[in-house]
Chain A
Amino acid sequence: AQSVTQLGSHVSVSEGALVLLRCNYSSSVPPYLFWYVQYPNQGLQLLLKYTSAATLVKGINGFEAEFKKSETSFHLTKPSAHMSDAAEYFCAVSVSGSARQLTFGSGTQLTVLP
């Protein structure tokens, strides 16, 4: 069975600073990996996804993530934080053959300080 671990339930950064949100996965087969963002009282919005085409994945709003098989990681980064980035971020994994079942990490609440 696959699983996802997000290190740090709360992360605070200053506006303009680097954002780094950590995600490690466990899967016995090649995974598909996703990062979603959730704003208060809203559903989840896809930021980016890894489907084995390229290890460095660029997403919306300036976010990107790098798939590192040797480290079983898929960390999310953004070079310069903006106040509007404050939200909760979820890393998720699915594996081939598991239909549309996503296994989510516990989430990381990002706070951006002025």
Chain B
Amino acid sequence: KAGVTQTPRYLIKTRGQQVTLSCSPISGHRSVSWYQQTPGQGLQFLFEYFSETQRNKGNFPGRFSGRQFSNSRSEMNVSTLELGDSALYLCASTEGQGSYNEQFFGPGTRLTVL
């Protein structure tokens, strides 16, 4: 099976713009989670989608949003970009619904905000 894919891999934007990142989970996986990784804050949970519904959300402002499509692919959107949004955004997919299930991570999208 193909792994989790994320597009684009690299992105450069300027402050005030918005950006959309895409994640395709492993075939058959219905859960997709998003994480932000920065040198200062480390890995932080953004939100999780299962069967097109947001099931859980981390402590991020409303500028961060996401959605999931019927084929389980997910997108996250960041509006009105700030310099502090520069980060590696990781997507992970899970086969089952249990909290003990392994999350398979994609390679990430590195966003740079100038």
Contact = CB atoms under 8 A, between A and B. Distances in A.
Query: Does chain A bind chain B?
Result: yes
Interface of A: 32, 34, 36, 41-46, 49, 51, 90, 92, 94-107
B8 interface: no
A90 B37 CA distance: 12
A49 B100 contact: yes
Nearest to A42: B107
The 8 closest A-B pairs by CB, nearest first: A43-B105, A104-B43, A51-B100, A44-B105, A94-B99, A99-B56, A32-B100, A99-B55
Contacts of B103: 46, 100, 102
Given A43-B108, A100-B33, A101-B56, A94 B100 contact: yes
Interface string B89-110: 0101010011111111111100
Contacts of B97: 99
A101 B107 contact: no
B64 interface: no
Given A100-B99, A105-B42, 4 more contacts: A43-B105, A49-B100, A96-B99, A99-B97
A103 B44 CA distance: 7
Nearest to B91: A43
Nearest to B105: A43
A99 B99 contact: yes
Contacts of A34: 102
A10 to B, nearest CB: 14
